[in-house]
A and B are shown apart, each in its own frame.
Chain A
Amino acid sequence: MSANCFPESLNLITDSATDESKLTVQVRSMYEIVEKTKIAPDIFQFKVSAPLVARKFQAGQFIVLRPLETSERIPLTIMKADKQAGTITLVVKAIGLSTLQLAGLKQGDQIYDLLGPLGHRSEIGKFGTVLIVGGGVGTAVSYAVAETLKAAGNRIISIIGARDKDFMILEDDFRKISDEIFVLTDDGSYGKKGFVTEELKELYLEGRKFDRVIAAGPLPMMRAVVNITREYNTPTIVSLNPIMVDGIGMCGGCRAVVDGRIVFVCVDGPEFDGHKVDFDSLMRRNNAYRDIEARKEHDCKIDKQIAAEQNA
């Protein structure tokens, strides 16, 4: 049997897929971590081999992965993809059990399962001036759409924020694609002191106008952003990050209320008109498992310790 029914055969990314002699020696490649970088405390950037996903990826889409056979399914937005190399880049904050398991994997390790690209792509067009607001790991979520909008001829202004200097991520990436950039930390240990929403307000007060705002970050941040942009009637797109199980429209666990209707973020999103999202109910839903997770985490202290040692 020829190997070109293997979805992750590396050769498939090029037209050499018809070269049978090459293909027969291919073994099924899993999702190898080709690069792992700790970019902030508990935040890791992974470059993962997933040629088919990389080839299909369009800005705004996500994947669902399981680091180990026993892990839960974690949805992660793709930060960027290298179609030639067949890799995708993911940024992960190790906070739950499964993200800790992922953080425990090293370069050269395989990710057990990885499915994608999922969800709709971002709407790309020549809007004019687009303001990107990224907070925390949301900075990575908004990167692909920012980069693509830049390439589409938009003027990109970025506001990126973090808790403190240590947690500031992807600044260099954003500098490259931004016409103007504002960097903030909550405590002022790096860049300007303040929240991204304060900077947003200031820009509006200066009389700046934006044709579109893209916001990605913690739900309270996105809610604050849309509350401001609503006043100025700026179309605002948010990328939602609800609790998900399958990621393919099967469970409805990721449902959110948008424009008074229930949507499934995984298949209807993940991006929505921020002015229509019911953030309050989504924030409550995202806390549904907090107690259970905390209990489980307590049980798994040893796992955590091992992961921490491996990442030291």
Chain B
Amino acid sequence: MNEIPLKDRMKIPRHTMGAQAPEVRVGNFKEVNLGYSPEMALEEAQRCLECKDAPCSQSCPVHVRIPQFITRIVAGDNLGAVDTILQDNLLPAVCGRVCPQETLCESKCVLGKKGKPVAIGNLERFSADSTAEIRKERVEKVTAKPTGKKVALIGSGPASLACAGDLARMGNEVTVYEALHAYGGVLVFGIPEFRLPKSIVEFEVRSLQQLGVRFEKNVIIGKTITINELFKDYGVSAIFIGAGAGLPNFLGIPGEELIGIYSANELLTRVNLMKAYQKEAITPVLDFKGKAVAVFGGGNTAMDSARTALRMGAAKVYIIYRRTAEEMPARREEVVHAEEEGVEFAFLASPLEFIGDDKGWLKSVRLQCMELGEPDASGRRRPVVIEGSEYVLDINMAVIAIGNGANPLLRDSPGLEFTNRYTLEVNPETLETTTPGVFAGGDIVTGGATVISAMGAGRRAARSINQYLLSH
């Protein structure tokens, strides 16, 4: 129990997590944030007021019991803390790192009204990291009676991982099918090592395997095996689609086929999944050394791309965004990190055309300036062109990080219905698609969103699937 009087708790300053120095970390791919020491974690945990109504918990998509887990840290019971989180969130080490806490749990922290909110994300990360060794030794066994039912999950990203864990614990036989050669979806091909070490994802996958979840790589549902065959030939009773949003959007301006222009997905896939940052890797990545790189977009992926380019040796990296810093969807922490590392921001600028040399290599981009007008449907002020403001910026490379469309590979599957954005139509309550017994969640339903919301959807789908299995 926290015995510090409430008044004094409020006097403890929020602990900032240590990080590699900017000039050091741009030279490596190691994790930037260094985590809390046990002392820092204890003090940070002591700041929590343990509110009864827990507004933090209410604003978490999976309703992690936040005051309860923080209380365990105060008591020195880190394992108890992580176990409390695990009741609601299967991936604490991941979410502690990549969740946008500032707009979710921490935004509702009572301490935030006058000062800084409790660093819930940092504490979540601490509770997971400080117990990793113990948890590695601990093999969870399913206690539920086997149902004899088989469930297939499509994709191995956060939605499927969360769904798989719950379904396995309910006693089902669960198989996760992944098209790529590594498990974790966006956690392995998208988010860079310096923000989310791959060993963490491997650990989570291994835990699920120990729980009895089967993982099959190199299987693309809709091509290698169809949904229909899963039901008919594989004896599957229900299916969860967590195929994500992986189809990169391009700008649709002239010159996008020039060499030196990557989608963020391509750059990040080459560097993360194919490990192009390691000297012995075979998959090549264009030479960034000494180059000027423009990254288009204002989200976390844009920040990841810019910071990856720096680490690959770029001399100058610009983030070009058509609105202002205020509207950027990226997490504040990522923007600050990028800025510290030397990324330059060009706000209110929009690309018109890429210009190449006679060998087809990118050499510059023509941009125009914008100003903010009336708010659009998203509530953000719409950028409006300033006439006659065009200019040319010399660059050697460009990365397009303006979001992804829904995975296209299931579009031909009979029985599934899609929205005009090619996301899947689902019953908002049950997450069941238009095909009975087929459920879906995560980015394939919402379009590009967060790891935690995908996980939340995976868990909700698991409950619906369980209901469905009981009645079929």
Contact = CB atoms under 8 A, between A and B. Distances in A.
Interface stretch (A5-13, A154-162, A172-180, A193-201): A5-13
B233 interface: yes
A98 B282 contact: yes
B177 A248 contact: no
Given A4-B234, A117-B223, A249-B247, A292 B287 contact: yes
Contacts of A113: 181, 217-218
B179 A252 contact: no
B224 A53 contact: yes
A163 B310 CA distance: 44
A224 B252 CA distance: 29
A66 interface: yes
Given A7-B216, A115-B218, A118-B220, A245 B269 contact: yes
B403 to A, nearest CB: 13
Contact of A4 (B235, B247, B250): B235
A97 interface: yes
Interface stretch (B256-264, B428-436, B450-458): B256-264
A209 B180 CA distance: 44
A257 B250 CA distance: 13
Interface string B184-217: 0000010000000000000000000000101011
B263 to A, nearest CB: 4
A52 interface: yes
A256 to B, nearest CB: 7
B282 A249 contact: no
B173 A1 contact: yes
A248 B220 contact: yes
Interface in A55-77: 56, 66, 70-73
Interface in B356-413: 359-360, 407-409
A5 B259 contact: no
Contacts of B181: 66, 73, 112-113, 115
B408 A249 contact: yes
A251 B360 contact: no
| Among B225, B269, B282: residue with most chain A CB under 10 A | B282
Interface in B267-285: 269-270, 274, 280-285
Nearest to B178: A115
Nearest to B256: A262
Contact of A267 (B150, B259, B408): B408
A281 to B, nearest CB: 5
B51 interface: no
Nearest to B255: A281
Given A52-B225, A70-B282, A289-B284, A1 B360 contact: no
A72 B274 contact: yes
Contacts of B259: 284-285, 287-288
A255 interface: yes
Nearest to B180: A246
A56 B224 contact: yes
Contact of B269 (A118, A246, A285, A296): A246
A250 B189 CA distance: 10
A17 interface: yes
A246 B181 CA distance: 10
Given A52-B224, A117-B223, A118-B223, A285 B246 contact: no
A97 B233 CA distance: 39
Interface in A247-274: 248-253, 255-257, 262, 264, 267
B89 interface: no
Contact of A97 (B218, B258, B263, B282): B282
Nearest to B177: A7
A208 to B, nearest CB: 35
Contacts of B21: none
Nearest to A254: B266
Nearest to B404: A250
Contact of B283 (A7, A72, A118, A287): A72
Contacts of B409: 248-249, 267
A73 B250 contact: no
A251 B408 contact: no
Contact of A253 (B220, B256, B262): B262
A262 B214 contact: no
A171 interface: no
Interface in B116-164: 150, 152
Contact of A251 (B220, B225, B269, B280): B269
Interface string A1-40: 1101111000010000100000000000000000000000
B248 interface: yes
B282 A7 contact: no
B305 interface: no
A249 B246 contact: yes
A5 B246 CA distance: 25
Interface string A111-123: 0111111100000
B219 interface: yes
Nearest to A245: B269
Contact of A114 (B218, B262, B280): B218
A307 to B, nearest CB: 13
A97 B283 CA distance: 9
B285 to A, nearest CB: 8
B466 interface: no
B400 to A, nearest CB: 8
Nearest to B412: A120
Given A4-B233, A248-B180, A289-B284, 7 more contacts: A4-B235, A5-B234, A7-B224, A72-B274, A246-B179, A252-B265, A267-B409
Name the 8 nearest CB pairs between A and B, nearest first.
A284-B360, A251-B266, A72-B283, A252-B263, A5-B175, A113-B181, A250-B246, A288-B259
Interface of B: 150, 152, 173, 175, 177, 179-181, 189, 212, 214, 216-220, 223-225, 233-235, 246-248, 250, 252, 256-260, 262-263, 265-266, 269-270, 274, 280-287, 359-360, 407-409
Interface of A: 1-2, 4-7, 12, 17, 52-53, 56, 66, 70-73, 97-98, 101, 112-118, 245-246, 248-253, 255-257, 262, 264, 267, 278, 281, 284-285, 287-289, 291-293, 296
24 contacts: A2-B235, A4-B234, A5-B175, A5-B234, A17-B234, A52-B224, A66-B181, A70-B282, A72-B284, A112-B181, A113-B181, A117-B223, A248-B180, A248-B246, A249-B246, A250-B269, A251-B265, A251-B266, A251-B269, A252-B248, A252-B265, A253-B262, A284-B360, A292-B285
